[in-house]
Amino acid sequence: MTPETVRLLARYTTWQNESQIKAMQTLDDAALRLDRGAFFGSILATANHLLWGDTMWLSRFAGTPAPPPVTSAGETTDLTPDLPAFVAARTERNAEISAWANGVTVIGGPLRWYSGMLDREMEKPLSLCILGFFNHGTHHRGQIHAMLTAAGVTPDDTDLFLMDLP
């Protein structure tokens, strides 16, 4: 893990989030809220969970404001009430991820934080937490991609090598 890798993964995150927003905007509210059998049920609920997670990790990495505290992952699915609010929050978060990534210079050492879901203090290597942050996003965007496909939307490609390089 290097600062350059963090920046690359941040660019990929924004690219994929923007692609999914474009696909989500072709669906009506009922289609976005339809329980599709995924862990968090719907496209919007899963997208909100990912937004909540990104917001929480950024608060730990960059000192940005934390989302509302929760005691279970199920409480993270209604961070925004509808697609327009989600798009605004997601766009803001993408910018924060990029700003944080562009400022990363050191990836060594521990990260300490309090986990409300586990109700305890945590300490893990910062590099592991950063990798987990990006992996979490990829995992849930994969779920959203599958739900969008099932809804009849053709999302953009997700392969990293297809992303335009600077």
Does residue 48 have a pLDDT over 90?
yes
What local confidence, expressed as pLDDT, does residue 26 receive?
Answer: 98
Does residue 79 have a pLDDT over 90?
yes
What local confidence, expressed as pLDDT, does residue 72 receive?
Answer: 86
Q: Work out the mean pLDDT of the chain and round it to a whole number.
A: 95
Q: What is the pTM of this model?
A: 0.95
What local confidence, expressed as pLDDT, does residue 80 receive?
Answer: 96
Quick: pLDDT tens for 19-30.
999 999 999 999
State what percent of residues in the chain have pLDDT above 90: 85
Residue range 63-88: mean pLDDT, rounded: 93
Alpha-carbon gap, residue 89 to 139, rounded angstroms: 20
Structure confidence at residue 71 as a pLDDT band (50, 70, 90): confident
Does residue 11 have a pLDDT over 80?
yes
